[in-house]
Amino acid sequence: MKKYIVFCAGLCVAMVMTSCKSSESAYKKAYEKAQAQAAMQQDQQVAPVQQVTETPVVTPVVTRPATQTQVVDNVDNVAVRQESVTLVSGAGLKNFSVVVGSFTVVANAEREQQNLKNNGYAAQIVKNETPSRVMYRVVASTFDSKVDAVASRDQLRAKYPDAWLLFNTK
């Protein structure tokens, strides 16, 4: 029995040793691959690759008449929101207005307008109809110049910290 075990162990060792041996075909494949790479490198050296230059795509300039262009001075870097609004209540809007409140319910806007009138402001209500919803803006004051509107907004921010400037695009 011992001889049988030794014989089987020897046979297993012989099989392991022969299966780990590299075959000649593997060496041959590696050699052919290296030769092909060397030939490619020589071809690249002989014929350099020509670079293809593409012309950049430029978007055409769309020109509009000066009557369709609107310029708003923003040299002082004060944010001005542009909206198309219609007057609901009040004397009328000028170019720049100071908005102190925005409401979805007109009764709330009227209450805020009355508070402003009681404090001496010529408050107005304007309506902004966007596709998503209707907003009623309460305007505390309105001016022809942006500088005057900014000064009024800064003064109103003591009581209304979220006051902002509106430029009516209508």
Domains: count for the chain: 1
- According to the model, what pLDDT value does residue 102 have? 92
Q: How far apart, in whole angstroms, are the C-alpha atoms of residue 167 and residue 133? A: 19
- Would 66 be classed as within a structural domain? no
Q: How far apart, in whole angstroms, are the C-alpha atoms of residue 43 and residue 141? A: 80
- According to the model, what pLDDT value does residue 118 have? 94
Q: Comparing 122 with 47, which gets the higher pLDDT? A: 122
Q: How far apart, in whole angstroms, are the C-alpha atoms of residue 116 and residue 142? A: 13
Question: Percent of the chain having pLDDT more than 90?
Answer: 35
Q: How far apart, in whole angstroms, are the C-alpha atoms of residue 93 and residue 170? A: 10
> How does pLDDT run across 54-91, given as a tens digit for each residue?
666 666 776 666 555 555 555 567 888 888 888 998 88
Question: What does the DSSP assignment read for 3-60?
Answer: HHHHHHHHHHHHHHHHHSSPPHHHHHHHHHHHHHHHHHHHHHHHSPPPPPP-PPP-PP
Range of the domain at 149: 79-168
Give the CATH number of the domain where residue 117 resides.
Answer: 3.30.70.1070
pLDDT at 114 over 70: yes
